[in-house]
Amino acid sequence: MPRSNTVDSLVTPYLTGDGSLSLGDDTSLELREMSAAATPRSGSVVVYAKSDGRLYAKDDAGLESYLTVAPQFRTVSRVIYIEDPTATDEFPIAYVPDAATMVAVRAVTDVGSVDFNIEIRAKLTPDVAGTNVWSTDKQATSSGLEQTGFDSASIGPDVWLHYSASAVSSSPTKLWISLEYTID
């Protein structure tokens, strides 16, 4: 049976008889920020909010750990197929309404190679050059390309992702590109 209990400055209206804390629906826990908690007694761990606004835990050996919550990102993939790619190809490939982060670009040709970059362009001016996600163009080949590193991975809200080729060799007839990004 829940009962109310006051220990030091903690009021716990939902402390159960077995010593566990049970918070009901629409209930929050407020922790006042502090510089750091004291090392707890043997066999205990303390959880507290530091003055940087983040949650920490400290064990009985005095080891402090930052507590993180896994963000609930939504991953989006866009697949583009380009038939008979040329070195002058450039066109919008995806509109991104929310802030996002580039995760991976994979590209493969049937034969030969295609050099390209992905640009981030403004919502109302997709025909105006934007910011390349890489400082140098990448090359798709029949062996494939997988890029997970970007010079500019952040994608602001309300932007276009734009494909821009710069070179083609050995006459590829097919190019597949997969873009993967997470909504922040």
Domain limits, the chain: 3-66, 74-183
Stronger pLDDT, 144 or 2, i.e. the higher one = 144
Most confidently predicted of 55-59, 95-99, 110-114: 110-114
pLDDT category at 15 given cuts 50, 70, 90 is low
Q: pTM for this structure? A: 0.62
Using CA atoms, how far apart are residues 9 and 134, in angstroms rounded to an integer? 53
Q: Which residues share a beta bridge with 141?
A: 113
% the chain with pLDDT above 70: 84
Q: Which two tokens stand for residue 47?
A: 């959880």
Give how far the C-alpha of residue 162 lies from the chain's centroid of Cα atoms, to the nearest Å: 20
Locate the DSSP E strands across the chain: 3-7, 10-15, 33-34, 45-50, 55-59, 64-66, 74-83, 90-96, 100-109, 113-122, 131-132, 138-141, 145-147, 154-155, 159-169, 174-183
Average pLDDT rounded to a whole number, residues 162-176: 98
Q: Which of 69-78, 105-114, 122-131 has the lowest mean pLDDT?
A: 69-78
Q: What are the distances in angstroms from CA 84 to CA 48, 49, 144, 170, 175?
A: 59, 58, 17, 11, 8
Using CA atoms, how far apart are residues 86 and 169, in angstroms rounded to an integer? 9
What is the rounded average pLDDT for all residues in the chain? 87
Q: 37-62: per-residue pLDDT in tens? A: 899 999 989 898 888 878 888 999 99
27 has pLDDT over 80: no
pLDDT category at 144 given cuts 50, 70, 90 is very high
Task: Quote the DSSP letter at residue 38.
Answer: P
pLDDT of residue 26: 74
Using CA atoms, how far apart are residues 96 and 157, in angstroms rounded to an integer? 6
Task: Quote the DSSP letter at residue 22.
Answer: -
Domain 74-183 belongs to what architecture? Answer: Sandwich (2.60)
